A and B are shown apart, each in its own frame.
Chain A
């Protein structure tokens, strides 16, 4: 009995908002006002952050390794583009939700394939689905515009009030609002008993099943939810850039996404957000050094991260902040990455 209340106590303490988290979001918001000339790249980072958060839900919490998460991103992107292009759903927020739902339906349908088999089969099936969709988008070029992509998308004002401006200011705050709302929901989900059961599944599916967690149903649910998030990220991409092209499905996109998440750390939701910032900054840096071959450096970063070890790397990165906290507050550091990847 006491064990149960103990677990409940710790789970609740974990779920409480820390000062650090509030500060984090305030800084993000402040960036929006501090760098008015950088809206486009910041919007890009927000989109990537949302996309990475979606992967974190299945990889960091449920332990599903996916190489084809771009499939849902792409479906969301094309759905939003088509809705806007043909004027089916004119209002962006509504279109965003519809696009997310489209990706969600695909996620639900394909989740049955993904929960079967081991890591390798999952890897293959997710990759196969993304490639399949890419081939489909190329095949039905009369709908998707083929290799040219969807062009001439005109976005209507948000809620019919706020128009998208050419500096991307509206786009930035729109993306930020969407990201924050979805983050709140994801935070609620992962700290709920449902989220805790996902972690149990990740650590040991067999034991999780033995203590009465319906493993497959939980995996289907989180995979579907992650697909919804990825679809929203894709729709944001189309809405803020006004294009959708075949490369939304590409395997490089899925691979980059993994890198983003790994750089930020998995299993605590902020990983995707922090990783997105680091990734874009690295990308800028590398493409100024060697415009054509920045992929080499991205690859090198991946190799080094794995060889050094992700946990060790995070310890190094957090060493200085923790030291400062110890010195100033005179207590044990609270900044830690709860990572339990095996």
Chain B
């Protein structure tokens, strides 16, 4: 029983992490209809920046996290302004080719600068180990992930639903022409959203170094996971990808624990079955927005 609860806890932490990593992609892919396969590269950038700050320059971990967010966002907005924005109107094939090219380049660049082996971020002592809660083993680091990601999710939902920016974004997505007719600066809204999504990915990358492992092949290895979150979750809201991430996280952890020999088999089968059953995702466009 306690093993199940521990697994559930790990799965939730894993899922939350995936959500933070992928929700930027949910925005670009679902809302802006841009297939960004290079999303993992931004996560990797955040992770490596955090690693350099903590390990080499001796920053405290919690101070490096916001900087991972900011620097990924800056990289994101720079690329958006220079390259991505020319491709919004192009075919999906062009977008796929372009972002795969970017991913390859990012892999080679990081390999060149930092070497190809897996890197670890030195964690403060307070985050290491685990404690027992009613007999259930709870890892401190995972608990922190759940707290951070949970707060982020609530904040995101609030921003989207309650603020003026959130309503502008929703309007720009629903009908860009009408929105710009109403005086909303649609490209600016998109650019800001894109940067914010990249920043979240960077933060997720920094947080995930401990759990997912961080090496130059990160963008390729986890591309499929991000895409699963978005396609299975549908992209018409934040809650869809959130629930999909939780499902994926819990499914993956449980699959690896109970049927270790099947490896990633469980996840891929789950994804294909869900996509056949609901091509627009579990919580797809048919659901009320």
Whether A305 pairs with B97 at a CB distance below 8 angstroms is: yes
Whether B98 and A307, one on each chain, are in contact in the complex, defined by CB atoms closer than 8 angstroms, is yes
Task: Give the complex CA separation of A211 and B222 in angstroms.
Answer: 42
Interface residues of A in 51-86 (CB under 8 A from B): 59, 65, 67
Report whether over half of chain B's contact residues are helix, strand or loop; otherwise say mixed. helix
A127 partner residues in chain B, CB cutoff 8 A: 224, 227
Known: A121-B279, A299-B108. A251 touches B35 (CB 8 A): no
Q: How far is the CA of A128 from the CA of B232 in the complex (A)?
A: 12
> Is the Cβ of B92 less than 8 Å from the Cβ of A302?
no
Q: Are A120 and B29 touching (Cβ within 8 A)?
A: yes
Among the 9-residue stretches A15-23, A99-107, A130-138, A214-222, the one with 4 or more Cβ atoms under 8 Å from chain B is: A130-138
- Verify A258–B104 contact, CB threshold 8 A: no
Q: Is B154 an interface residue (CB 8 A)?
A: no
Residues of B within 8 A of A296 (CB): 104-105, 108-109, 112
Query: Residue B101 contacts which of A132, A136, A300, A341 (CB distance < 8 angstroms)?
Result: A300
User: Of all chain B residues, which has the CB nearest A251?
Assistant: B220
Q: How far is the CA of A124 from the CA of B271 in the complex (A)?
A: 9
Q: Is B257 part of the contact surface with A, judged by Cβ < 8 Å?
A: no
Decide if A306 touches B227 in the complex (CB within 8 Å): no
- A262: interface (CB < 8 Å): yes
Q: A295-B107, A299-B101 are in contact. Are A117 and B280 (CB under 8 A)?
A: yes
Q: In the complex, are the beta carbons of B272 and A295 less than 8 A apart?
A: no
At the interface, yes or no: B231 with Cβ under 8 Å from chain A? Answer: yes
| Chain A residues, CB < 8 A from B87 | 306
Q: Which of B86, B98, B105, B220 contacts A252 (CB 8 A)?
A: B220
A69 to chain B minimum Cβ distance, whole angstroms, is 13
Q: Which residues of A contact B94 (CB under 8 A)?
A: 306, 310
**A334 within 8 A of partner (CB):** no
Q: A258-B100, A295-B104, A306-B101 are in contact. Are A138 and B263 (CB under 8 A)?
A: yes
Known: A120-B35, A120-B92. A299 touches B276 (CB 8 A): no
Judged by a CB distance under 8 angstroms, whether A284 is at the interface is no
| B228: A residues at CB distance < 8 A | 124, 128
Contact A293 B276, CB 8 Å, known A128-B268, A132-B269: no
Report whether A293 and B112 are in contact in the complex, using a CB–CB cutoff of 8 Å. Answer: yes
A298 sits at the interface (CB 8 A): yes
| Contact of B264 with A by CB under 8 A | yes
What are 12 A-B contacts defined by CB distance under 8 Å? A113-B272, A120-B35, A128-B271, A129-B272, A131-B224, A139-B263, A262-B97, A296-B112, A302-B104, A303-B102, A306-B98, A307-B86
Question: Which A residues are closer than 8 A to B by beta carbons?
Answer: 59, 65, 67, 113, 116-121, 123-125, 127-129, 131-132, 135-136, 138-139, 251-252, 255, 258-259, 262, 292-296, 298-303, 305-307, 310, 341-342
B residues lining the A interface (CB < 8 Å): 29, 35, 83, 86-87, 90-94, 96-98, 100-109, 111-112, 220, 223-224, 227-228, 231, 261-265, 268-269, 271-272, 275-276, 279-280
